[in-house]
Amino acid sequence: MSNDTAVEITGLVKRYGRRTAVDGLDLTVRKGSVTSVLGPNGAGKTTTVESCEGYRRPDAGTVRVLGLDPIADGPALRPRVGVMLQNGGVYPGVRAMEMLRHVARLHAHPLDPEALGERLGLDSCGRTPYRRLSGGQQQRLALALALVGRPELVFLDEPTAGLDPGGRHLTRDLIRELRRDGVTVVLTTHLIDEAEELSDRVAIIDGGRVIAEGSPEELCRGGSDSLRFSGRPGLDLKALTDALPEHCEAAEPVPGGYRITGRITPQVLATVTAWCAQHGVLADRITTRRHSLEDVFLDLTGRELRP
Ligand code: ATP
């Protein structure tokens, strides 16, 4: 395992009874990166992340976190790794800020719990017992608990699930700050736009394996963008295609509705509007659409990603 690797998973297999949740999964996470793990429900994301956190013992394969074994070296890893669990892991009667101060005291160089609590909007509910916090407040506390010890590496399991828009914005800002500070972030999410916006690398998991991995740009490369417009039906598609760069193709999927696929550059847009002008066509409702991570995900898994 090289020095700039934070997590290295090789051939991970995990079974629950007869069900194979993770089926020979390989994944490397570079130090200082934000890596998103995306996948449909039941793909094996949580099991994989829990194996890295030392909560699951692999049936086969190896997991190394900061060069250590998450189970055998748990005590050495715990001060260096932050974990945001989906279901808190917090005693139900404890007050939010009490819990945060308590966890801060367990670390050698914690963040100031009061400042972190305020940043995450926990000051207003600091005296509320955990079981009475709203779902969003519990999420915010779970994030604060993962970060208060200034970890080198954090695992965030759907950190924005159940948060209001303000909470989502704040959480995404915090993730960007962690990255700036050199912290490695492993994020599981169902939100493709979140993964695309925040991640250096994205691993798409399906059926317990990584089926695609790369930067969002790499994963989207090679797919087709599209430009659509409306005009009178029956335009000469061959003439339009001839006017366009070689990689582009024009089609009329519905009468009067046109679609150009290929790499849509500003020149392609200019060519289409100029061609329409020359042929007396008023191109209406022109839209361009970039090949997104969502398209890649759909192409690979045949499924939409829904929480
Ligand atoms: P989701 O997006 O729904 O959270 P996931 O990708 O995190 O899903 P996992 O929770 O890792 O997927 O589950 C992978 C498979 O293993 C699923 O089929 C699930 O039903 C099964 N599984 C997970 N945990 C257990 C368990 N404790 N006992 C039995 N089966 C389990």
Over residues 84-111, the pLDDT tens digits come to 977 667 788 889 999 999 999 999 999 9
Give the domain extent around 258.
225-290
Q: Residue 124 pLDDT > 90, yes or no? A: no
Cα-based distances in Å from 35 to 65, 167, 186, 189, 300? 14, 21, 5, 11, 19
Ligand 1 pocket check for 43: Cβ under 6 Å: yes
Task: Judge if 29 and 90 occupy the same domain.
Answer: yes
Span 146-152, mean pLDDT?
96
Mean pLDDT of 6-29: 97
Which of 14, 16, 188 best tests ligand 1's pocket when mutated (most atoms within 8 Å of CB)?
16
62 CA → ligand 1 middle, Å: 19
What's the average model confidence in pLDDT over 138-142? 92
Q: Is 41 in the pocket of ligand 1 (CB under 6 A)?
A: yes
Residue of minimum CA distance from atom 1 in ligand 1: 41
**Chain segment 159-215, per-residue pLDDT in tens:** 998 889 999 999 999 999 999 999 999 999 888 888 988 999 999 999 999 999 999
The Å distance, Cα 18 to ligand 1 centre, comes to 13
Measure the CA–CA gap between 203 and 293, rounded to whole angstroms.
11
Q: Among residues of the chain, what percentage have pLDDT more than 70?
A: 96
The residues facing 81 across adjacent strands are 153
Residue located nearest, by CA, to atom 17 of ligand 1: 42
For residue 249, give the CATH number of its domain: 3.30.70
pLDDT > 80? residue 1: no
Instruction: Return the CA Rg of the chain.
Output: 24
**Do 259 and 279 fall into the same domain?**
yes
Q: Does one domain contain both 151 and 242?
A: no
Could you tell me the distance, in angstroms and rounded to a whole number, from the CA of residue 302 to the centre of ligand 1?
19
Same domain, 204 and 271: no
| CATH for 98 | 3.40.50.300
The whole-number pLDDT of residue 306 equals 47
- Strand locations in the chain, DSSP E? 5-16, 19-30, 34-38, 60-65, 81-84, 153-157, 184-189, 201-206, 209-214, 225-230, 249-254, 257-262, 284-289
Average pLDDT of span 124-130: 88
Verify that 157 and 204 share a domain, yes or no. Answer: yes
Predicted confidence (pLDDT) at residue 58 exceeds the cutoff of 70: yes
206 Cα: distance to centroid of ligand 1 (angstroms): 12
Q: Which residue has the higher pLDDT, 290 or 285?
A: 285
Total of domains in the chain:
2
Residue 146 forms part of a structural domain:
yes
- Which ligand 1 atom sits nearest the alpha carbon of residue 14? 16
Q: Which two tokens stand for residue 16?
A: 């629950």
Please give the pLDDT value at position 307.
43
Does 45 contact ligand 1 (Cβ within 6 A)? yes
Q: 85 C-alpha vs ligand 1 centroid, how far in Å?
A: 14
Closest CA to 224 of 251, 203, 192, 202: 251
Q: Which two tokens stand for residue 1?
A: 């395992």
Percent with pLDDT over 90 in the chain: 69
Check residue 12 and give its pLDDT.
98
- Residue 134 in any domain: the answer is yes
- Model confidence, pTM: 0.81
* Amino acid 93: pLDDT: 86
Q: How confident is the model at residue 77 (pLDDT cuts 50, 70, 90)?
A: very high
Nearest-atom number in ligand 1 for the CA of 17 is 29
Q: CB under 8 Å to 279, separation ≥6 — which residues?
A: 235, 236, 239
Q: Ligand 1 pocket check: which of 47, 49, 86 to mutate, most ligand atoms within 8 Å of Cβ?
A: 47
* Cα 116 to middle of ligand 1, angstroms: 32
pLDDT reported for residue 88: 62
189 in a structural domain: yes
The verdict on residue 75 lying in a domain is yes
Model confidence pLDDT, tens digit, residues 234-267? 999 999 999 999 889 999 988 999 999 888 889 9
112 and 240 housed in the same domain: no
